[in-house]
Homo-oligomer: A and B are copies of this chain.
Amino acid sequence: MVTIKQVAKEAGVSVATVSRVLNNNGYVSQEALTNVKSVIEKLNYKPNSVARSLYNKTSNMIGLIVPDITNPFFPELARAVEDVAMIYGFKVVLCNSDQEPEKEKKYIDLFKQQYVDGIIMTAHSYESEIYTDLNIPVVALDRIGNTTLPAVVSNNYTGARKATDLLLQKGVENIAHIRGPRGVAPAEDRYRGFIDEVNKKNADYIIEESSFQLEGAEKKAREFLRAHTDVDGIFCSNDVIAVGVLKEALKKGIKVPEELQIIGFDGSFFGKMIYPELTTVSQPIYDMGAMATRLLIKIIEGNKPEKIFYEMPTTIIERSTTRK
């Protein structure tokens, strides 16, 4: 393997000069710069990034903390983060926190020891304190923890209003909202959007609460459809709940969308795998991940971003669980 010494010798400069070229800091004459760069290319020198880490206290690594990569929202996010990171020469360390503060702390300790350059976190609101006194740049994604942190979120509130409005426009007379868990920020925002829209329209409504997981959602849907046979339109707080409702409705022989219209939230890929296909409020998951990564890298590189809070628009994808 070619060493920095060999590069310096071949270029006829000091090791310190090569180091300045590699790290892009300190004065280097134009001549030396051109010379060193051509030698690096000629010898196919690959700077030892661990040594550079130690010297620069950077590692070209981004830590990505998700609750659980198997939750359908996060693979697309992770993919976007990795795609953008790679363009800028950063690697992505994947961490599943299960939203346990202990695990998150452990990861953050590791990140510090390893000179991780920045963190993208998608954590629960109540654990955000551990991010605020870090010396590492952090961008919050999706489930925003603390509003003083740079963040990229989707417009959950507006998306929920649009979904509710669509159901009412499509002739729903007895509307319901199956909301997500209390205290989870997106679930709260979607709930507020629903409430404000039905109140604006003076519509009666029913609220039910479910977990964001399939098993809980199916159970809740079963009870709900038994208890509320007159409900003809349900806005569900995420796509998984919507799938639970759809499955239970089909099992009971309820015609979707003729007798019951359903809208989910997220725009997950499995909305297209079911039949009838799910109408949903789509979040630009990939764009959110890409935007968060670009924002983080901007901060890592010492540039002041124009703004540190991005709210990305949601769009309704009308498929077959709502009427034409």
A interface residues with partner B (beta carbon < 8 Å): 46-51, 53-54, 59, 61, 64, 68-70, 72, 74-76, 78-79, 82-83, 86, 91-96, 106, 109-110, 112-115, 214, 240, 243, 246-247, 250-251, 269-270, 272-275
Contact = CB atoms under 8 A, between A and B. Distances in A.
Contacts of A270: 270, 273
B96 A82 contact: yes
Among all A-B residue pairs, the 9 with the closest Cβ atoms? A94-B94, A49-B113, A70-B75, A69-B75, A50-B53, A247-B275, A270-B270, A250-B275, A75-B75
A22 to B, nearest CB: 12
A245 to B, nearest CB: 11
Copies of this protein, total: 2
Nearest to A286: B70
B247 A46 contact: no
Nearest to A92: B94
B92 A93 contact: yes
19 contacts: A46-B112, A49-B110, A49-B114, A51-B54, A61-B93, A64-B94, A69-B69, A69-B75, A69-B82, A70-B76, A75-B75, A82-B94, A82-B95, A86-B106, A92-B94, A240-B273, A247-B273, A247-B275, A274-B275
A174 to B, nearest CB: 23
A265 to B, nearest CB: 15
Contacts of A106: 86
A273 B243 contact: yes
